[in-house]
């Protein structure tokens, strides 16, 4: 049986990462914004939760570990390699985290529930094409 991989494209602005918003608001408001975002996605994909991988138009990646916004921030170089402890392409990175992401908060292996592209359209269609060979990609649009 082929494993499903959810790809969520969203136009929701991730204010929980916006520095001016963060500086003006108490932490509970930032956490509520993150929780509200997760609940919006859950309306269409009820199993969506942390951890999930967030991809941004500026080639930044965040692995959101929990509702408390513990996250790992990484970035891509131009040839599509994720800058981090391992030299791997974005599709290899997603594949690994879908199988063996180790939670920052629990220390246990907890696979990511989805890849969220904070963009109305796919940011990395060539990467998703490669992943389609391994996963049943389920695309969801959340606005």
In the block, residue with structure tokens 């131009």: 78
Q: How far apart are CA 97 and CA 82, in angstroms?
A: 13
**pLDDT confidence of residue 112:** 93
Helix, strand or coil for residue 9?
Answer: strand
Task: For strands 71-76 and 52-55, give the pairing.
Answer: unpaired
**pLDDT confidence of residue 39:** 95
**Residues lower than pLDDT 70 in the chain:** 1, 77-78, 85
CB burial of 4-26 (b: ≥16 within 10 Å; e: otherwise) equals ebbbbbbeeebbbbeeeebeebe
**pLDDT confidence of residue 1:** 67
**pLDDT confidence of residue 16:** 83
Residue 81, beta-bridge partner list: 89
**pLDDT confidence of residue 103:** 83
Q: Write out the two tokens for 3.
A: 């494993």
The gap from C-alpha 36 to its chain's centroid, in whole angstroms, comes to 15
Q: How far apart are CA 43 and CA 142, in angstroms?
A: 9
pTM score above 0.85: yes
């Amino acid at each position: 049986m082929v494993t499903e991989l959810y790809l969520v494209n969203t136009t929701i602005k991730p204010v929980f990462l916006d520095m001016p918003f963060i500086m003006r608001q108490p932490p509970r408001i930032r956490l509520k914004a993150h929780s509200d975002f997760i609940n919006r996605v859950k309306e269409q994909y009820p199993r969506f939760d942390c951890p999930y991988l967030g991809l941004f138009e500026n080639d930044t990646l965040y692995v959101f570990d929990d509702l408390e916004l513990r996250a790992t921030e990484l970035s891509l170089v131009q040839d599509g390699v994720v800058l981090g402890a391992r030299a791997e392409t974005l599709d290899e990175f997603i594949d690994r985290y879908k199988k063996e992401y180790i939670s920052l908060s629990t220390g246990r292996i907890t696979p990511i529930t989805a890849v969220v592209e904070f963009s109305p359209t796919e940011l990395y269609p060539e990467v998703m094409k490669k992943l389609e060979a391994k996963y049943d990609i389920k695309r969801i649009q959340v606005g």
